[in-house]
Amino acid sequence: MAIEAPRIKNTLHINMGPQHPSTHGVLRVELELDGELVVSCKPIIGYLHTGIEKTFESLTYVQGVTLTDRMDYLNPMGNNLAYCLSIEKLFECEVPERATVGRVLLAELTRINSHLVFVGTSGFDLGASSVFLYCLREREKLLDLFEWLTGQRMMTSHIRPGGLASDFEPDWLKATGEYLDSLPKCIDEYESLLTNNPLFKDRMIGVGVLKADDALAYGVTGPVLRASGVALDIRKTNPYIGYETYDFDAVVGQGGDCYARYKVRVAELREAVKIAQQALKRMPGGSVRTSNRKVMPPPREELGTSMESLIHHFKLFTEGIKPPAGEAYVPVESPRGELGFYIVSDGSGKPVRVHERAPTFANVQALPLMAEGGLIADLIAVIASVDPVMGEVDR
Amino acid sequence: MTVAPSRVEAAFPDALHGVSQDGIPYILLRPDQLVETVRRCRDELGYTRWVDVTAVDEPNVEPRFELQYLIHSLTEHRWLRLKTQTDDAVPSIVGVFPGANWYEREVFDLFGVVFDGHPNLTRLMMPDEWEGHPLRRDYVDANVEPVDFTVTREALGTGGGNELRG
């Protein structure tokens, strides 16, 4: 009589991270491994929690802009934009046309910034180190442009409630145009290194599949959701800052694997260049700061002649801007997905509550769906394809 | 986005409906209506995408916490906000939207609102042994030692500080 040998379940528990080069920051993943196979995968976050949402409550609204940069270091102006749109919604404040077009330009430039880093690092994580250098070369030029415009390379804080911090110089617009014209060729170059590279495809195709239903139930958004075949791009479905007037495609992938997410982002890179070029072409004249004196201070030269301007100036700088009491959440499409700031005001100079709906928070939560049942080496590709920024997960 | 959806109002006639300043309609619910309402919104009204939950703390108001659930309809491209108020606990909706798992843990961690029926209600951001809930308005961090910047002659020694200047 054959005796069935008891199957001993001998799994290994290891920690990947929080200090691991492929976890893009301080993500810790608790893994249960059966040989090379990932039996269970538990992302653990909180290593970068700095209480940003609490800090908002002790700052004025304008000071708060600087915190939004620090949540997502790859998408500073996209975060500024979402925060400012929520405040402007409370004020019902009109923003001049030049500032609105400028915001589209800056939001798309930061999207290019973010996706360049994604393409570079996702290749780098899988051993393609040269593409990383090329991507960072182009990103470096972009950071130089940001420095020229705002004085800062990464924490730009350039988009402010009511408009922009300062106007564009004609030379800057010209240099940006030349930079954008040079990009499509560079993207071709990256694609020649990665897209049809058999080693890269082997590591990406069919790996980390996320089904559309799961993605929706987990709140996954952005390129990760679109790679699963759901056509949700807030720039298309609920246009803000005039995106409906630009000619671009919302890229939708299929398959929901790592390769689809890569392809969606590369295609978005090209679309972002297109949108930014259109914004440059139509850049109107005029001011980049709203004339609503409750939101932005009056220009310096008015202070000597107008009593009201002087009072507004004094009030804005001693007490801060005071949005009417209420709540506002304005979602925007960040490079990582649906981003929005839920702001509650009680009519005073400091917010009652600022909550960031961070796209990476939901995307990282869905990591086990993509990684479990795969190989441990594939987990590297999966984390890279989610493109997490831990600053906005932990806040 | 600015038009109040009549379908939602018709589906929940006895709840309090309204529209926030941002144009997103909301429904104010009792905590015991929450799970059923979220399920009906998902299954009958097409709000299939999970977005967010967070809390607002107002210690002087009774009950002090207002929870804000946000869900999204892919067919109508519309957001819907569900509000409920509590002092301590609400039922968990992880059974309806698994994505609510981390969000509810975050609210539990930072506000101390308990989600009944949550599969793993532990701290998410703060260390497990942390005391208190930092995002409460009346939270005082016990770990911060007050720093005294007062300078006295005694503390500086007999020279009245001159020896420090050299």
Size of interface A-B (CB pairs under 8 A): 92
Distance from CA of A228 to the nearest CA of B (A): 14
pLDDT for B109 beyond 50: yes
Of A54, A342, A366, the CB nearest to B54: A342
> What pLDDT is stored for residue B5 in this prediction?
55
Alpha-carbon torsion angle B91, B96, B98, B103, nearest 10? -40
Q: What's the token pair of residue B11?
A: 């589906």
Q: What is the DSSP letter of B153?
A: H
The residue in chain B having the minimum alpha-carbon distance to the alpha carbon of residue A329 is: B22
ipTM: 0.86
**CB-based contact A328 B74, cutoff 8 Å:** no
Share of chain A above pLDDT 70, in %: 98
Distance from CA of B159 to the nearest CA of A (A): 40
Q: Is B76 on the interface with A (CB under 8 A)?
A: no
Q: What's the token pair of residue A352?
A: 């009652």
Q: Please state, as a whole number, how many other Cβ atoms lie within 10 Å of the Cβ of residue A119.
A: 25
- Provide mean pLDDT across the span A323-328: 90
Identify any residues that bridge with A37 across adjacent strands, giving them in sequence order.
A34, A375
Residues A29/A379, Cβ–Cβ less than 8 Å: yes
| A271-316 pLDDT per residue, tens | 999 999 999 999 998 888 888 888 888 888 888 898 888 888 888 8
Q: Is A44 exposed, middle or buried (0-12, 13-18, 19+ CB in 10 A)?
A: middle
Q: The CATH number of B6-165 is which of 3.40.50.970, 3.30.460.80, 3.90.180.10, 3.40.1350.10?
A: 3.30.460.80
The residue in chain A having the minimum alpha-carbon distance to the alpha carbon of residue B126 is: A46
pLDDT for A370 beyond 80: yes
**CB-based contact A232 B1, cutoff 8 Å:** no
Which residues does chain B have within 8 Å of residue A86's beta carbon, measured at their own beta carbons?
22
Using beta carbons and an 8 Å cutoff, which residues of A are at the interface with B? 45-46, 49, 51, 53-54, 57, 86, 89-90, 216-220, 230, 232, 237-238, 324, 326-331, 338, 340, 342, 344, 352-353, 355, 357, 361-362, 365-366, 394-395
Q: Where are the domains of chain A?
A: 52-385
CATH fold group of domain A52-385: Cytochrome-c3 Hydrogenase; chain B (1.10.645)
Whole-model pTM: value is 0.87
Using N-to-C axis directions, what is the helix angle for A97-125 and A376-386, rounded to 10°? 170
Query: How far is Cα A246 from Cα A344, in angstroms, rounded to an integer?
Result: 32
What lies within 8 Å, CB to CB, of B50 at 6+ separation is: A216, A217, A218, A219, A362, B71, B72, B97, B99, B100
**CB-based contact A353 B56, cutoff 8 Å:** yes
Query: How far is Cα A205 from Cα A225, in angstroms, rounded to an integer?
Result: 16
